[in-house]
Amino acid sequence: MDSLKPDSFKTPPLFTLPAELIHHILSFLSPLDLVDVSQTCRLLHTHTLSDHLWQPFVQANVPGTNLSNIDPVPSSWRTVYTTLHPYWFLTRHKLWFGDSPHTGKLLITRYNARSQAIEAFALVAERRQPTISHWHWNPDAIIHSFSPRIQLDLNVPVLRIDAAAMARRSPSLGGGGGEARQSRLEMEVPMELREGGISVPTTTTTSTSTTTNS
């Protein structure tokens, strides 16, 4: 019965630390470990919601972009990270080759801080006015120049993943009616490809992607 005495319900030493020290300790954990810690008690759940813990996870997946200078700043970096999980590998590796017939396609993926979305754009070559010259050693040989202008086609993203797209692919976990439910973090989640501004149904999945990393 001694275990029921008030003295046995002392505050854990961890909870006596200042919030700054608790956040520093939690900063050594991975995202999955933070989720596990958040389920232990209300106090630790509150600490794990700190943007100081989640912003570095997003930053690690967007090389070349300084998230400390973006505008507008997201209301929650935790929401940003968890919403786009597990597709951060797209922005982390950045350069992808598509398997479009005949010509293929070179894609550049990046994180759009304004819309909080992962977008992939095609790298295209704009043909300029060609010039013609003759080979010095053989005047009958004509040489056509080729110096295209390389740029991203920013008109329409080839691939766009945001909160709205994830919601369309994720049936409500709280609904009834016996409907089949699936986790949006399952092994295969269909992606939505866009060609010419029109959504095209596709069976592309995260495990059988139409693109391969360089």
Please say whether the beta carbons of 67 and 58 come within 8 A.
yes
* Interval 33-37 mean pLDDT: 94
Q: pLDDT for 144-200, tens place per residue?
A: 888 888 888 888 888 899 888 888 766 544 444 434 334 444 444 445 555 554 344
Radius of gyration (Cα) for the chain, nearest Å?
Answer: 25
Does residue 26 fall inside a structural domain? no
- pLDDT at residue 64 tops 80: yes
d(CA 87, CA 61): 10
Mean per-residue pLDDT of the chain: 78
Q: Per-residue pLDDT for 122 more than 60?
A: yes
Domain count, the chain: 1
Residue 107 placed within a domain: yes
Residue 132 resides in a domain:
yes
The answer as to whether 174 is a domain residue is no
Q: Has residue 194 been placed in a domain? A: yes
- Does residue 124 form part of some domain? yes
- Domain of 127 in residue numbering reads as 83-169+190-214
User: In the predicted model, what is the mean pLDDT of residues 121-145?
Assistant: 84
pLDDT band for 207, please (50, 70, 90 cuts): very low
Residue 126 counted as domain residue = yes
